[in-house]
Amino acid sequence: MGTNVIGESAPFQAHLELLQFFLAHRDDIVERIQDVLNAQRKPIEYLRDGSLLSRHFEDCFYIGVTQSQSRLRGQLEDAHWASGFRPRELPGLHNGLIDPAEMMIRAFHLWQQTRWPGRNGRVHYAHTLFNLYVIRCLELLSMRVWDDGLVRRSPGEGGSSSAGDRLSHVQGVLDQLWTITPVDQPVLVRDARWLIQMAQSPATDDLGAYFEVAEKIAETLSEEDRIEIHKAGVRLAAGHLRSQTRYYSMKKAVPLNEKSLILSTRNTNALDFALLIHDLVPLLEAYEHAWQSEDGQKRLELAGAICQGISPDPELFLNRVELLGAYSMIEHLFITTDGDGHVVYTPMGQRHVQLLHEYEARIGRMSKPLSDDCRHFRPVAGVYSPYGALYGFSSDLMEHMALKATQPDAVTHFSLEDVFVDGDANTDKLAWVSGWRKLPHLKPEVEQLFDYPQQFAEDIFDRIEHALRRRVAGGDANAVVQTGRLFILPGDDQHADSKASLIPEAYDEPRLLSDRREGRCLLSYQTPGGWVAMTKDILTEVLAEGRDAKIVGLPPVAVDALKLMCRSLVILPDGPDGVRS
């Protein structure tokens, strides 16, 4: 998984030249794709065979390439997967980057339900699929800008070989793509810096890969590039989490403030919470600078991104930062033992804890300006707000735009970035987003399920505004509830039968490995009798209510691990006596 191996297997410059070859031969490739789309007489099995369609589709690009270029086929994806980003199998869901073959299957289904297009219609959609494929390749290529050990931040140190220079080359190909694209095609994404976040959108099992990329971004790219990447990160991640909250709220028929819903979303999103913190810290720093320099436009742009970033759980991100820290900890990535057997943070854990401290300080200083600025982002009836965007992964948004491109009423002048621009009074955007699922093969009742959720957008914003007001009114004793503490007691403690006492539960190994991997455990360790663990439920069910909990019978190593997982929440046996009721 080293960068040298990946760099040799997916050479950046060779792939850049291959993409330029594709652009230079666009018309020929589109014509071949059109032939693949001319499939109305093919058996139904063919029309649903994603693997076969993917092979036939990609063949359209590799006719006429050199022998060395043909060997590049599949290398970018292999390198991405080897870096830790192999998508997890999710039964019944497409979990991956934008996939032209998947979009062919969906178009075939639509055409079967309505009418198969003639040659002009097939050519039109072939252009859309061409663009999707190039964007997919650029997403993968954007993750290779660090190969061969490229760590320089400034371009003046040895020519055009820094990660930032490579990213600018990716932007150049993206710009060229839209220059040669017919004007009736949707411009799916304009900014290459968004591609880095989009490439990390699918769910995977190797959570450490995300933090490795985050560190590379921080160490190698210019401030301007980093800020735009962080903006994209908070917007895409927060939109995903808001959509998840709405889905479960609708499924369980409960309001957004229902305790069981809050508990579920907090317990299952350690990775997203951690990455949001990593993105929010530099945005808060830039926001503070803009506030101090009285740069009103930049201040509002950053405020909009930050408000979106905290929107999935504003109470947690603003008024429960101690709990946020514990929720964002991922034990197997952040905690280890050193050569002497002491429990310590890993380098990845040290960086995360440092960013947690910085986040706590910066959000404290900037809550008042954010409270003043957030009014600019209040959803207005009849106007689109990003707080109403619904999707699973970022690829879903481009899939909506691409499939809508089969229809004559498709709006083409907005891009992915526009989904997340707030404070925009352009009423066309609401029609654009609402129109994605207005397709002739969908029943009206299905379309209604995905109507733009104006009330949901308003409810999400109200939670942000309310939490900011509570944070700003922090001096008011009634504004913020105190957070409880975890008291560690010996196994023979006389008070261990208290109703607030907790003993780690026995876990079967498959469940434990899954929960550890996802960061759902507050603590886990192995005993002669098997694995035992504590979930993070206690953080919201007990500590968030202002009550303390006593934890009984932990071995010393587990105590040390819990201290690192919940730095400011743990009280050791020689600490203060008594437990708050």
pLDDT per position as a tens digit, 83-117: 999 999 888 778 899 999 999 999 999 999 999 99
Same domain (yes/no): 298, 357:
yes
Q: Does the pLDDT of residue 496 top 80, yes or no? A: no
Task: Evaluate whether residue 463 is within a structural domain.
Answer: no
pLDDT-derived band of residue 493, with 50, 70 and 90 as boundaries?
low
480 domain residue, yes or no: no
What confidence tier does 497 reach under pLDDT thresholds 50, 70, 90? very low
What's residue 154's pLDDT?
47
What's the CA gap between 7 and 173, in Å, rounded?
A: 20
- Judge whether residue 2 has pLDDT over 50: no
What pLDDT, on a 0 to 100 scale, did the predictor assign at position 578? 45
Q: State residue 530's pLDDT score.
A: 85
Average pLDDT over residues 291-314: 97
The answer on pLDDT for 511 being more than 80 is yes
Listed range (29-43, 233-247, 374-388, 415-429) with the worst mean pLDDT: 415-429
Domain end call among 449, 477, 498: 449
What pLDDT score was predicted for residue 489? 86
Question: Rg for the chain (alpha carbons), in Å?
Answer: 25
Q: What angle do CA 339, 345, 347 make, to 5 degrees?
A: 95
DSSP H or E segment with residue 343: strand 343-345
Flag whether 385 is in a domain: no
Find the range with the poorest average confidence among 22-31, 106-115, 146-155, 163-172. Answer: 146-155
**Residues 89, 23 within the same domain:** yes
Beta bridge partners of 274: none
CA dihedral 107, 108, 110, 112 (to 10 degrees): 160
Domain count, the chain: 3
Domain stop point among 333, 352, 377: 377
Residues 266 and 327 in one domain: yes
Alpha carbon 170 to its chain centroid, in Å, reads 21
Q: What percent of the chain stands above pLDDT 90?
A: 77
- Pairwise CA distance, residues 231 & 279, whole Å: 7
Judged by average pLDDT, the poorest of 113-127, 267-281, 493-507 is 493-507
| Inside any domain, residue 456 | no
Are 5 and 48 within one domain? yes
Sheet holding 570-571, edge to edge: 501-502, 549-552, 486-489, 570-571
Assess whether 110 and 244 both reside in one domain.
Answer: no
On whether both 412 and 493 belong to a single domain, the answer is: no
Please check whether residue 384 lies inside any domain of the structure.
no
Same domain flag for 443 and 494 = no
- Is residue 450 packed enough to be buried (19+ CB in 10 Å), middle (13-18) or exposed (0-12)? middle
Of 84-88, 280-284, 486-490, 496-500, which gets the smallest average pLDDT? Answer: 496-500
Question: Which of 377, 408, 424 is the endpoint of a domain?
Answer: 377
Q: How confident is the model at residue 510 (pLDDT cuts 50, 70, 90)?
A: confident
Tell me the pLDDT tens digit for each residue of 389-433.
999 888 999 999 999 999 998 999 999 999 999 877 777 899 999
My answer on whether 176 and 80 are in the same domain is: yes
Looking at mean pLDDT, say which of 182-196, 430-444, 479-493 comes out highest: 182-196
Examine the domain organization and report whether 415 and 337 are in the same domain: no
- Residue type, position 243, single letter: S
- Size of the chain in residues: 581
C-alpha dist (Å) from residue 55 to 7, 79, 494, 533: 25, 19, 68, 46
Higher pLDDT among residues 251 and 580, named by residue = 251
User: Do the domain assignments include residue 54?
Assistant: yes
Letter for the amino acid at 238? A
Strands 521-527 and 570-571: unpaired
Positive/negative CA dihedral, 313, 317, 321, 325: positive
In a domain, 62, yes or no: yes
Predicted confidence band of residue 443 (pLDDT cuts 50, 70, 90) = confident
Q: Taking the model in full, what pTM does it have?
A: 0.92
Give the separation between CA 127 and CA 99, rounded to whole angstroms.
14
Q: Are residues 357 and 438 in the same domain?
A: no
Do 422 and 340 reside in the same domain of the chain?
A: no
Report the alpha-carbon distance of residue 444 to residue 438 in Å, rounded.
9
pLDDT band at 151 (very low <50, low <70, confident <90, very high): low
Structure tokens, 518: 């996802």
Structural domain containing residue 399: 1-221+391-449
Q: Is residue 396 in some structural domain? A: yes
pLDDT at position 498 over 60: no
- Domain check: are 15 and 142 in the same one? yes
